[in-house]
Structure 1
Amino acid sequence: MFETDLRLQCGRALRVYDSAPCDDARLPVVTLGVPTDTLYEAGEWLGIRWISCDLPSTTAADLAAVVDAAGVDGFALMGHGEGGALALRTAALLGDRVEAVVTFGCTLPAEFILIAIQTTPVLLCHGLADRISPATNSRWLAGRLALPTLDLHLGLDHTTILTQSEPALEWIRDHTG
């Protein structure tokens, strides 16, 4: 994993991680609060290039700078909790550059952001036993997004929903060009 500090326009440095810098043959997937260490094997056979950054205080504009610095045009996003809301905000900001979004136990972004996400397919994975971010969040999002897929799981909570990361990668592969 290649690590570097990206200096943002505001002067702040953001730690960025990239599993395959300059490998244009791999689908870039930007992860936000989703650990990739258990997903490397799946990423290899699916041809995924992992890109991530330190999440605290990261904005959609910061993520735009990250993918620009990585030389990436189109990419997918995976986010857990607040990282899911950030993924949706980023999809709204960057439009067609975002080919697909997956959220796990997503918190809610502002409703007006969802209006801007018209052509991006979104997979909303949520555990029905999530007490931190209730599944009603994903149900609410599914009712407001143009291309949602709602994926609810009985017995999974806020962290165990991440067991669905590998199937989500397959969903990304099937929904990106």
Structure 2
Amino acid sequence: MFETDLRLQCGRALRVYDSAPGDDARLPVVTLGVPTDDLHDVGEWLGIRWISCDVPATTAADLTVVVDAAGVEGFALMGHADGGALALRTAALLGDRVEAVVTFASALPADFILVAIQTPVLLCHGLADDVSPAENSLWLASRLELATLDLHPGADHHSILAQAEPALEWIRDHTG
């Protein structure tokens, strides 16, 4: 995994990780709070290029700088909790550049941005989540035109990440 510090216009440095810099044959998937260590094999099989950065205090504008610096035009997003809300805000801001979004136990972004999202979104949520209620994903599904709701009765806030592998297959089916 290639690591670098990217200097933002505000002067802040953002740690960026890229599994295959410059490999245009791979599908770029930007992860926000989704660990990829256990997804390496399936990522290789699916031809995924992992791109991630430090999530705390990261904005959709910061992510634009990250993907531009990586030389990426179109990409998918996967976000967990606050990373899910950031993924949705980024999809609203970047429009057609974002080909698909997957959220796991997403926090809620502002309502007004949802109308700008015209890309497929998979909302994965555990019904046993006591940190971020499943009602968040139900509410999002009712407002996103291209949303697919994926609820799991026994999954909690962290165990929902076990759905990351099938979510990658969903991304592959809904991109490029």
Partners of 2:71 and 2:39 lie apart in 1 by 23
Match of 2:46 in 1: 46
Letter of the 1:49 partner, please give it. R
SS in 2 for 1:65: helix
Letter of the 2:166 partner, please give it. P
Match of 2:117 in 1: 117
Unmatched segments (≥5 aa) in structure 1: none
SS in 2 for 1:142: helix
Partners of 2:11 and 2:70 lie apart in 1 by 18
Letter of the 2:114 partner, please give it. L
SS in 2 for 1:39: helix
SS in 1 for 2:15: strand
Partners of 2:66 and 2:39 lie apart in 1 by 21
Deviations 1:94-140 (A, max 9, x none): 0000000000000000000101102x000000000000000000000
SS in 1 for 2:95: helix
Partners of 1:64 and 1:37 lie apart in 2 by 24
Partners of 2:99 and 2:26 lie apart in 1 by 14
Deviations 1:9-50 (A, max 9, x none): 111000000000000000000000000000010000000000
Match of 1:84 in 2: 84
SS in 2 for 1:124: strand
SS in 2 for 1:38: helix
Matches within 5 A, 1:18-33: 18-33=18-33
What is the aligned residue count?
A: 176
Partners of 2:19 and 2:117 lie apart in 1 by 28
Match of 2:36 in 1: 36
Unmatched segments (≥5 aa) in structure 2: none
Partners of 1:97 and 1:11 lie apart in 2 by 26
SS in 1 for 2:140: helix
Q: TM-score, normalised by structure 1?
A: 0.99
Match of 2:11 in 1: 11
Letter of the 2:146 partner, please give it. L
Match of 1:139 in 2: 138
Q: Write out the 4+ residue segments of structure 1 that deviate beyond 3 Å after TM superposition.
A: none
Q: TM-score, normalised by structure 2?
A: 1.00
In the TM superposition, what is the alpha-carbon distance from 1:173 to its structure 2 partner? 0.2
Partners of 1:93 and 1:13 lie apart in 2 by 22
Partners of 1:149 and 1:89 lie apart in 2 by 17
Letter of the 1:55 partner, please give it. V
Partners of 2:93 and 2:11 lie apart in 1 by 21
In the TM superposition, what is the alpha-carbon distance from 1:146 to its structure 2 partner? 1.0
CA RMSD of aligned residues (A): 0.3
* % same residue: 83
